[in-house]
Structures are given as structure tokens and as C-alpha cells.
Amino acid sequence: MSETHNNITLYLFRHGQTDWAKSGQHTGRTDIPLNDVGRAQAASLKEAVKHLNFDAVLVSPLSRAKETAEIAGLFNAETIIDDLAEFDYGKYEGLTSSQIREQVADWTIWTHDCPGGETLDQVAKRTENVIAKASKIGGTVALFAHGHVLRILTARWLGLSATFGQYLLLDPSTVSILSNDRGTPAIKLWNSPPY
């Protein structure tokens, strides 16, 4: 994938806190809004982005990402990209990892499928589509999305297996930057609170 990286820099913004994220529930396609803390977190992003110029802003169709982008002052309805939606957790939607492990003792999102949901490879393919779209746009592109999908996107940006995402912790309402170093895909900033 590195041939697509030379002409773009990606700013990754994970949405602010939701009640399900706070409780550790897997929140994939359930459209949970930001809570009060999440809205305050999103407001802190506005200061971080006010001096940045983006060639495009791409946003997940889920309200928590749209609301984060809107509060940060970067939302436009034409920027919705379905491929940025969070992992479809299937029958594990709304459950915590410990609840899932009562059924499958060694379960992680990185090593097991989600019955009725997406596979890691399917999500990886979606993130590759996002990278390709951003590459066609060129320049500096902002992405407002979700924890697992952004971690997988980063792994694919680096040319690594999607499972590498398990090593990339990503907190709500943080900024990460993907760029390149002389043609080699690189992480310039990771999991930074708004500066």
C-alpha cells in the first residue's frame, strides 16, 4: 500500500465518549450518541484543528463520529463514508469483553470472529478503501471514526496485518497523524489528547 502514501497525510480523530464506551460495551453499528463528557471532549478538538487546513474531511455515518466532527467545526454532509463505520460486532454488540469471554474463554476481537458480524479481514478491506479514497483526494485528510476501525486502518497504512491494531491503544477524542518518512508509511503522532 505504500505507493499511495506519498501524497497524503491522514489526521485520525476518534469520536468522544459515549455511555457504552464508558461501560466497556462493544459499540459497533448501534447508533449511540456522545454523552456530556464526549461532547466536552469533542469541543476540545475544535481548538486543536482551528489552524489546520484539510483538503477533505471524511466521517463515519454513525452519529457519535458525526457529532464529534460537527462540534469540532469540520462536519459536512457530503463527507459521510460508510467504510469508516465501526466494526460490526454481530451478536456481541452491546456486550463487554468479559461477558463474551463467559461464552468463549479466550475471545478477543483480534483473534476471533463475531457471529453475525464482520471479520477482521472485512474491516481491513474497508479501511483499505478509505486509504485509497484519501489517496485520490491527496493532501491532508481528516478522518472522524471509531477505535477499532482506526486501529485497523493504521495497521493497514503501515502495511501490517490488521491484527497489529491490537497494539495501538486509542482513547476517545484523540488525535493521531499518519504520514510517511521518505516514502515509508509512518505514524507521526499517536493517541494524543488535543493540543
What residues are annotated to the active site? 15, 86
Q: Measured between alpha carbons, how far is 2 from 11 in angstroms, rounded to an integer?
A: 17
C-alpha cell at 194: 488535543
Packing angle, helices 147-157 and 120-137, rounded to 10: 70
Give the side-chain half-sphere CA count within 13 A for 147: 21
| Pairing status of strand 175-181 against strand 184-192 | antiparallel
